[in-house]
Amino acid sequence: MATKTKKKMISVIVPCFNEEEALPFFHTETSKVLKKLGTDYELILVNDGSSDKTLDVMKSLAKKDKHVVYLSFSRNFGKESAMYAGLCNASGDYVGFIDADLQHPPILLKDMLNALETGKYDCAACRRIDRKGDSKIRTWFARKFYKLINMISDAQMVDGAGDYRLMTREMADAIISMSEYNRFSKGIFSWVGFNTYWIDYENVERVAGKTSWSFWGLVKYAIDGIVNFSNAPLDLASFIGLGTTVLAFLYLLFIVIKYAFFGDPVQGWATLACIILITGGMQLFALGIIGQYIGKTYMEVKNRPHYIISDSNKKSINKIK
């Protein structure tokens, strides 16, 4: 019965990259919600190699709030690594992620916790129902990306679902066990399975600072998502190769017949030039696809750590993993 009275512990992981302006607001707003949950909690702030005063802000927050744990990277490793570092160092019964810019309304933590407490779900996740503040072209590409990836990949991804979620220890451990170097959290969350409860919310704009995503950054991210969770592009390369070979044979047959039966002299440098250019282009395209996979494989086999922590206020941590 002793376990029944013991307060549950919630770990909330916050990846932060150049968030000196947003962090104080974030801390105030999120703490207000966390204090009212009736559980124990820790706020794990991960400084992802910020070049501004984010680390100083974290240190001063940790000084006045014992719930704050900060982990500071030796350089910028990217949001995915920051999330992984948080996971590997979270001690809660429930573990969650939230952005530092208040684009994820902290009040939803309460709804997510309620959903988990029913015992019916292993994960409660938030999805934004609109893309207010995003440009039209970005929205269009995002929609197409989700359509495509759900068609070709072995993990279903939900449009609008970000990293804002709370999950049980079991699910957190399952995610930690996926120690791949090329991390694509949206896919990983879906791949591990478990029952997810969805909460809709309206998009909120950043409280301060600016987004670290450029358009091309997002395109690269989309390609990563596809390559990490699907082999469809490799199939596509094979089909294109097979298709052009068949077409080439048919064309060869056509030329032979034309010459043998109709005495048509072989001619047409324009056709030749087109064929060489098209097949050359397709070969490079297919090589590029294969290259994407080989590049990823190369990074995986090197087995480099996901992150290196150079500073923290917590003693026993996984400094390198």
Point out which residues bind ligand UDP (CB under 6 A): 15-17, 19, 48, 76, 78-79, 82, 99-101, 103, 211-213
**Contacted entry of Mg ion, ligand UDP, none for residue 79, CB cut-off 5 to 8 Å set by kind:** ligand UDP
Q: Is 48 in the site for Mg ion (CB under 5 A)?
A: no
* Part in contact with Mg ion (CB under 5 A); list of ranges 13-21, 33-41, 98-106, 256-264: 98-106
Angle between helices 232-262 and 269-302 (to 10 degrees): 160
d(CA 60, CA 53): 11
Taking the least distance from each CB to ligand UDP, the nearer of 15 and 187 is 15
Any idea which residue has 């941590």 for tokens?
A: 317
3-state SS class at 26: helix
Give the residue from 108, 130, 117 showing the smallest Cα distance to 198: 108
Q: Is 101 in the site for Mg ion (CB under 5 A)?
A: yes
Shortest spacing between CB 144 and Mg ion, in angstroms: 22
| Burial profile 139-160: b = 16 or more Cβ within 10 angstroms, e = fewer | eebbeebbeebeeebebebeeb
Quick one: which of 30, 103, 168, 312 contacts Mg ion (CB under 5 A)? 103
**Contacted entry of ligand UDP, Mg ion, none for residue 76, CB cut-off 5 to 8 Å set by kind:** ligand UDP
Burial of 291 (0-12, 13-18, 19+ CB in 10 A): exposed
Shortest spacing between CB 189 and ligand UDP, in angstroms: 16
Taking the least distance from each CB to ligand UDP, the nearer of 21 and 101 is 101
**Contacted entry of ligand UDP, Mg ion, none for residue 21, CB cut-off 5 to 8 Å set by kind:** none
- ∠ CA 60-65-68, nearest 5°, is 85
Q: Spell out the residues 6+ positions from residue 102 whose beta carbon is closer than 8 angstroms to its own.
A: 22, 25, 26, 29, 204, 206, 207
Shortest spacing between CB 164 and Mg ion, in angstroms: 10
Give the residue from 286, 295, 296 showing the smallest Cα distance to 235: 286
* Part in contact with Mg ion (CB under 5 A); list of ranges 99-107, 123-131, 267-275, 299-307: 99-107
**Contacted entry of Mg ion, ligand UDP, none for residue 244, CB cut-off 5 to 8 Å set by kind:** none
Tokens of 45: 């702030």
Taking the least distance from each CB to Mg ion, the nearer of 12 and 192 is 12
Cβ pair 38, 94 in contact under 8 A: no
Taking the least distance from each CB to ligand UDP, the nearer of 46 and 286 is 46
Taking the least distance from each CB to Mg ion, the nearer of 15 and 92 is 15
Taking the least distance from each CB to ligand UDP, the nearer of 85 and 115 is 85
Taking the least distance from each CB to ligand UDP, the nearer of 6 and 75 is 75
Q: Which helix (H) or strand (E) holds 149?
A: helix 136-152
- ∠ CA 61-96-130, nearest 5°, is 105
Shortest spacing between CB 56 and Mg ion, in angstroms: 21
Q: Is 21 in the site for Mg ion (CB under 5 A)?
A: no
Shortest spacing between CB 159 and Mg ion, in angstroms: 17
3-state SS class at 231: coil
Which residues are near Mg ion by CB under 5 A? 99, 101, 103
